[in-house]
Structure 1
Amino acid sequence: MRSMPWLAAVGAALVALAVAVGAVMFTGIPPAHAAVGLHVSGTDIVEANGQKFVMRGVNHPHVWFTSQTKSFADIKALGANTVRVVLGSGKRWGPSTDVANVISLCKQNRLICVLEVHDTTGYGEEGAAASLDEAADYWISQKSALVGQENHVVINIGNEPIGNNNAAQWTSATTAAIQKMRSNGFEHLLMVDAPNWGQDWQYVMRDNAQTILNADSKRNTVLSIHMYAVFNSAAAITDYLNRFRDNGWPLVIGEFGWRFGANEVDHETLLSEAVSRGLGYLGWSWSGNTDPILDMAAGFDPNQLTTWGQRIFNGANGIKATAKEATIYSGGATPTVTSTTPTSTPTSSGSCRVAYVMNTWNTGFTTNITVTNTGSSTINGWRLVFTLPGGQTITNGWSASYAPTSGQVTATNAGWNGNLAPGGSTTVGFQATHTGNTTEPASFTLNGAPCQVA
């Protein structure tokens, strides 16, 4: 979480990033030992069946907004496969005693659940913060809700566990917390955040990564970097990610914001690099921030996505375009992705083109629809009409309104995507149920004119 004490480090961080650093020795990571459920394999996170799983999701501030349980379904409907859930140990917030219910909400909505204790934020600089040892004690107190959930749950021991004062203590504190978790019988994939309020601008995590990974008797720990203004250039991002890749260390981007100002994180580079490298990412945050510039959904309303929300869910290299559901939710097999093929002969005189891509499972599916203006005039407001095959019913939608929810459906543009310049496109979508028929609509019209199917 972005915190005010962290801002004092920005100037020093940017200087530090300009200093050349020496190469670190490649030592590799031993294979996981009898891993259960989600686990590390080399630099990847994989499921129990060996299928690679790449986190694509957001952070949800559950401990401060415990009534916002609908957020789990809303986040899923927008395409996420993971949600990082903020919990409290009772030292500063909470205690969160509803862990079992949180896990149930994740599973009901086919999300992998990353659970984190937020009380540790800025320890050593923030006087009220909990230690990692206290965070481990909290997890031990919740063990009955966690054991047996290794396929669905990642335990992020403590959020941003050390501030900028004596960041070097992170190595011993993290080592001890991992070992305490293992000695108390936890088999889960563990996630550990960097010091310096998560941003590691003094490179303590980077330079001691192998020590931390070796401390885990299960060889089942993934490192997590939080990227905000320290990572405001492509060079800063790629250099940091390269160090982990070159040394074979597993890494996720557990938090990050967006470039709402010149000195903020270069989120476009971050997203493209994460996708090209197969790294998981979890954006901060769904809603409820003290500084609403970091909210993705205004007032927790999925129909009011902010600029940030639109970018992370619907933008290039965003969640909708790159997320794949965990196979634990699809019977142990890779989810079926049906690419659209033409269902009618394209006409060269058409003024629109539609790409309709489905991701199906037992009784449901999600669909992304990309509408492109192939004409020579700007479209000012649009209505896309198509007929859903029998047995298909829309349950949630994004980036457009849908009426009715079955049969002949009209998708009407949102306020922000109604204008399509020549060659311009927009992507909308929905989640739906089916009774066995997963065929696609036979045709589409945009403002009454037939569209090509791409």
Structure 2
Amino acid sequence: MNTYLLLLFLGLISCSTEEPTDTPETTMGNLTLSVAIDEQVDEQSSQRQKEETLDMKIDIVDVDGKTVDSYASINELPEEIELATGVYTAQGVSTSSKQLGFDDPQYGGTSEDFSIQSDQLTAVSLSCNLQNTMVSVAYSDVVKNQFSVYSSVVKSSFGELAFEQGETRSGYFRSSGSLTVNSTIGEGNSQLNAEVTIDNIQPTTHYTVTIDVDTGTGKLVITVDETVLDGGEKDIVITPVEGEERPDYNTSIGFFTKDGKLYDANGVEFIARGLNNAHFWFDNGGRELALDALTPIAAYHSNAVRLVWQTNYEAKNWNNVEESVQLRKLITTTIDKGMVPMIELHDVTGDESKENLLKMAEFYVRADILAVMKEFESILLINIANEWSGKTTTYRDAYKEAVTMMRNAGLKHTIVIDASGWGQDMTPIFDYGQEIIDNDPQKNILFSVHMYQSYRNEVTITSNLEKAVEMKLPLIVGEFGFQHGGTPEAPIQIPYEHILSECERLGIGWYAWSWKGNSGGVEYLDLSEDWEGTTLTDWGDGIVNDVNGLKNTSKKVSVIN
């Protein structure tokens, strides 16, 4: 595979108005865009042909799908353009409109969502791959040695290409419908014919057609090998890497914990750098505010999202969509954006009843929900309940029973367990955490602490995080803010920069609270001024741009390509 790399420097400079205006000033940012083309042009094609097939139209598209800048050719891109702050994608589309041809591979692609922030430089890569279907025809040595005449015709609904004797180039077809391969070898009475149909042809796919003669029957045989080219799939990919070995007792195909750390299915340590998003409260009533917000959340470098959910789902409030369908859509969208989903139930926040906690476990083992959970075992984390606050042995016994219920139903995922005391009291984790892990046949537990007013000083933050690491208790900071509690005149400040730096030092994952939608006096915890992520709040800017924030420390999980 050859790579054709073009570096396009799009300097997006700041500007301001000279006269006062009643409308807010539009702020601008900076972007460096690199375009990498996975070249599939045949070596014997001329340089001129390569330059023509490799050219593309480049569009810059905003979060609403509106094209804000468009260039007919890569060569027409200016050195500098201006864009308002917000979330965008860069899209490349082939300039060729041919339906088929020997020298006409067509390339295109869409970048991951990226954010333009005021007076900041953002580096973005646009990877462009083959968008049509590639077909190669080869003849076996038997055919070449025994027959002086042979040829094949490959037909689509848009036309046909003749692969005459000696033709070594690949053909390229618009990826629609089917292809029919008709091969002929020999002449006169010794002529042999065969035909095969390739159904539902796909883009970014190479079909290698081999023509041979069965030495036993003398019949002409056509075989087709299908190869998905680079960029042709975006899915959960489990690949053999030099990662941590999964313990024998753990039979999951997804995340696992070992010696206080969290590993993905490849055995690569995963350190969450993400935030919370309130789906249950803002994706109903004909809205998809939180679902759509996954686009800017990913653009601001989150590698994980904690998805707020509750058990009192009523389909009538969700356009009569069944709950399992809605959850599947939510989880799939998160994965498609390149982030690890963690589902959590908010029903029993602050509750101390063991029976109510077990109701949360019962939700996950309900047949329709269980099927969705199992479908995403390779990538999904399950947070049983948000901030359930049972104390001492009640905490221990309730969680042991809840985990057992879920394991008996076949859920092998990493199960996330919040600290007691509205998520802030780690005492039961220190006292009973190892016992809860040992009781789990999968030994696949991840504990979570929420850092609000109880963590108003740096010493408490450091001592609790260090103790968990020393005890090898797998831990994340599942929620935290920069301020919480106190009075409007004297709010309690939380040294969140210290949380970020200590989590980075100790290798602990974190999820900031929360993207948007806070109310009841804690609106200040919104990370974004709007659902679209056009402008971050000061709190959001810190989470994204701090030296230990999302932009500088987030690394995508290895199993999402």
TM-score range, shorter chain: 0.5 to 0.7
Q: In structure 1, what is the equivalent of residue 556 of structure 2? A: 325
2:252–2:377: 8 Å Cα contact kept in structure 1?
Answer: no
Aligned pairs for 1:277-356 within 5 A? 277-290=506-519, 291-330=522-561
Tell me, yes or no, if the aligned pair for 1:225 and 1:251 is still in contact at 8 Å: yes
More strand by share: 2
**Equivalent residue, structure 1, for 2:306:** 84
Equivalent residue number for residue 8 of structure 2: none
1:73, distance to aligned residue in structure 2 (A): 1.1
Match of 2:273 in 1: 56
User: 1:303 offset after TM fit, Å?
Assistant: 1.2
**Could you tell me how far 1:43 is from its partner in structure 2?**
1.4
The answer for the alignment partner of 1:270 in structure 2 is: 499
CA distance in 2, matches of 1:206, 1:301: 40
Native 8 Å contact 1:40 1:189 kept in 2: yes
1:146 and 1:297 mapped to 2: Cα distance? Answer: 30
**Contact 1:32–1:220 (Cα < 8 Å) also in 2:** no
Structure 2: distance between partners of 1:102 and 1:182: 23
Partners of 2:388 and 2:420 within 8 A in 1: yes
Q: Report what 1:255 is aligned to.
A: 479
Distance 1:144 1:241 in 2: 35
Tell me the residue number matched to 1:180.
Answer: 405
Task: Provide the residue aligned with 2:361 in structure 1.
Answer: 136
CA contact (8 A) 2:517 2:526 kept: yes
Match of 2:435 in 1: 211
Select which of 70, 73, 88 maps to 2:295. Answer: 73
Q: CA deviation at 1:32?
A: 5.1
Confirm or deny: 8 A CA contact 1:257 1:284 kept in the other structure.
yes
User: One-letter code of the match for 2:447?
Assistant: L
1-side partners of 2:300 and 2:272: how far apart?
A: 14
How do 1:96-111 residues align onto structure 2 when only pairs under 5 Å count? 96-97=323-324, 98-111=326-339
Deviation at 1:145, TM superposition (A): 0.9
Structure possessing the higher relative contact order (Cα contacts under 8 Å, 6 or more residues apart): 1
Q: In the alignment, does 2:380 pair up with 1:121?
A: no
Q: Distance in 2 between matches of 1:172 and 1:91?
A: 28
* Alignment partner, residue 102 of structure 2: none
Higher Cα Rg, which structure: 2
Deviation at 1:41, TM superposition (A): 2.0
Match of 1:230 among 431, 440, 454: 454
CA–CA distance in 2 between the matches of 1:90 and 1:180? 21
TM normalised by structure 2 equals 0.50
Q: Give the match for residue 204 of structure 2.
A: none
**Distance (whole Å) between structure 1 residues aligned to residue 429 and residue 253 of structure 2:** 25
Q: Identify the residue that residue 159 of structure 1 maps to in structure 2.
A: 386
What is the DSSP-based 3-state SS (H/G/I as helix, E as strand, rest coil) of the residue aligned with 1:172?
A: helix
CA contact (8 A) 1:287 1:296 kept: yes
For each residue in 1:211-264, what CA deviation from the matched residue of structure 2 results, as whole angstroms up to 9, or x when unmatched? 111121101111111110101111101111121111111111111111477633
Letter aligned with residue 267 of structure 2: G
Quote the Cα distance in structure 1 between the aligned partners of 2:350 and 2:405: 21
Q: How many residues align?
A: 296
State the SS of the aligned residue for 1:300: coil
Cα-to-partner distance string for 1:259-305 (whole Å, 9 max, x where unaligned): 47763322111100000111100011001011211100123131121
List per-residue Cα deviations over 1:185-236 (Å, max 9, x = no partner): 10111100011010016x1222211111112110111111111010111110
Could you tell me which of 421, 430, 453 is aligned with 1:196?
421
Matches of 1:87 and 1:102, distance apart in 2: 11
Unaligned runs of 5+ in 2: 1-246, 485-489
Flag the 1:319–1:32 CA change in 2: closer, same or farther, 3 A.
Answer: farther
Identity in percent: 29
Cα RMSD of the aligned pairs, angstroms, is: 2.4
Flag the 1:64–1:208 CA change in 2: closer, same or farther, 3 A. Answer: same
How many angstroms apart in 2 are the aligned matches of 1:315 and 1:183? 43
2:473 match: secondary structure: coil
SS of 1:298's equivalent in the other structure is: coil
C-alpha distance in 1, partners of 2:314/2:425? 23
Q: CA deviation at 1:48?
A: 1.2
Q: What are the ranges of 5 or more consecutive residues in structure 1 without an aligned counterpart? A: 1-29, 331-454
Instruction: Decide whether the 8 Å contact of 2:385 with 2:417 is kept in 1.
Output: yes
Shift of 1:133: 0.6
2:3 is matched with none
Aligned to 2:260: 43
Query: Secondary structure at 2:269's aligned position in 1?
Result: coil
